Amino acid sequence: MHPEAQEGFVFFEEHTLTNPYDFYDCVRQSGPIVRIENPHRETYMVLDFDVIREITKQPELFSSRPAGRNLNFYPKAVAYLKEHGYGFSPQIITADPPLHTVYRNVFARVLREKRAHQLRPRIVEIAAELIDNIVDEKECEFVMDYAWRLAILVIAEMLGVDRNDIAQFRRWANAWVLQLEQPLSEDEMLECMKNIAELQHYLVAALKDRVANPRDDILTDFAAATIDQENGDEPLSLREVLGMCEALIIAGNDTAVSALSLGMLRLIERPKIAERIRGDRKLIANFAEESLRYESAVQNNFRSVAEDIEFHGHKMSKGAQILLCWGAANRDPVAFENADQFDIDRAGIRKHQSFGYGIHACAGAVIARQELTESYCLLLERLHNIRLADGLSLADLKRRGGAVTHGLERLPIQFDVARR
Ligand code: HEM
């Protein structure tokens, strides 16, 4: 252990990843930034709401291009994707300015208010269909039967995936998410790359089609970035725009699944709040915000230190890894009164950092908020007395996720059906 690292503060341990809140309280006693034990890399964890903001405002010092994933263990799989697909495309989430600014401008255009507005009725339809599928049984496994399906169908909608192609799109998207959750065997990774290569060809064909036959949709906006840039920048390559489409799957899938499921858990834990918001729809947005804050679907994101610096009393070396701990910042007692209480009436309910902060703040937050509020609205309308499935208690629910995302493995529920 490095002498500066705090004894016992080992971040990458299963119990701290799955149940981080006691750990955060304990680490917080040692200051807003704490060096933690990591045998592989100098690593600091930042738990303080304001210090995280400070870091996100200085991308030149705290880069979003961390060490990257180590794919050296999978030479066959990586070679396959290069040869048969388009390789790994550059990603907005790991880009720094000035490239990040160029990508972000495209996202701003693509996910602008008009598009979000167009998407809302489709989100409502998708949610209603999924609820139709579960009501008769009066029970379901909420993560797989609702949250996962909704998130992937909304992304498919954004990418203009044809209804007939939905089943294979699910398989492809699943592979994208799976390969991020290493470790996998070489064969498993190869299988993922085969799926990703197919997805890439599908998306590239769709993008080319939108260049030739523009429509009034998101994919056409993405495709337009290969032809022109409104601000006079060079057109982007097809590979870069493909990377942006893939970013929706990477950034908008697992995150939304976890947030939806954790919100449902809050409704089950707090039936009085469920009743209150069922009776007053205006409170649903507040409920969604507070559940995003209370247990964040993205607990951390990484940054790397761009040069040797001294920051808040720590001598940090170039290349050191920083964990921006949104989950801890959202329970920072200085930033939030009674931070450990779930309170849908709290002042400044949207000030949480669950969508990040600064130049990389979630580009899909408007869409994510629509998914959450429309879902809770319809679920509360149609399902009553929502409870854990027979024989289960809250203590039986297992969390899943790694250093970044955080959610529920399964959420088996039962409910009564409201008369329509
Ligand atoms: C409740 C669900 C979601 C949560 C909690 C969430 C959270 C986040 C967070 C914390 C970041 C910041 C990453 C960083 O600073 O390194 C981020 C970035 C991003 N999110 Fe989301 N997200 C959600 C849903 C979505 C959806 C549905 C989409 C797509 C429609 C999306 C697209 C993105 C993109 C493209 C970025 C990268 C932005 C950039 O680097 O400039 N997210 N998200």
Residue located nearest, by CA, to atom 27 of ligand 1: 252
Q: Please name the residue whose Cα sits nearest to atom 30 of ligand 1.
A: 364
pLDDT at position 1: 56
pLDDT, position 257: 96
Average pLDDT of the residues in 375-401: 95
pLDDT at 180: 77
The Å distance, Cα 93 to ligand 1 centre, comes to 8
Q: What is the pLDDT of residue 5?
A: 66
Q: Is 367 a pocket residue for ligand 1 (Cβ < 6 Å)? A: yes
Long-range CB pairs of 310-314, under 8 A, 24+ apart, other chains included: 311/33, 311/61, 312/31, 312/32, 312/33, 312/51, 313/31, 313/33, 314/4, 314/33, 314/35, 314/44
* CA 76 to centroid of ligand 1, rounded, Å: 30
Q: Is the CB of 46 under 6 A from ligand 1?
A: no
pLDDT, greater one: 182 or 68 = 182
**Residue to probe by mutation, ligand 1, list 55, 155, 362, 367, most atoms within 8 Å of CB:** 362
Q: Are 247 and 91 in contact (CB under 8 A)?
A: yes
Name the DSSP class of 71.
-
Q: What is the mean pLDDT of residues 331-357?
A: 97
What's this model's pTM, rounded to 2 decimal places?
0.95
For residue 6, what pLDDT band results from cuts at 50, 70 and 90? low
Lowest mean pLDDT among 21-35, 70-84, 176-190: 176-190
| Chain segment 233-280, per-residue pLDDT in tens | 788 999 999 999 999 998 999 999 999 999 999 999 999 999 999 999
Which domains does the chain carry?
Answer: 14-417 (1.10.630.10)
- Atom of ligand 1 at shortest range from CA of 367: 27
Q: How far is the CA of 137 from the centre of ligand 1 (A)?
A: 34
Specify the ligand 1 atom closest to the Cα of 104: 41
Closest CA to 257 of 380, 158, 385, 145: 145
**Pure H helices in 230-297:** 238-252, 254-269, 271-279, 284-294
pLDDT per position as a tens digit, 92-117: 999 999 999 999 999 999 998 889 99
The whole-number pLDDT of residue 39 equals 81
Atom of ligand 1 nearest to the CA of 326: 10
- Ligand 1 geometric centre to CA of 260 (Å): 15
Report the separation in Å between the CA atom of 298 and the middle of ligand 1, taken as the mean of its atom positions: 9
- What is the C-alpha separation between 417 and 396, in angstroms, rounded? 25
Nearest CA to ligand 1 atom 17: 362
Judge if the beta carbon of residue 407 lies within 6 A of ligand 1. no
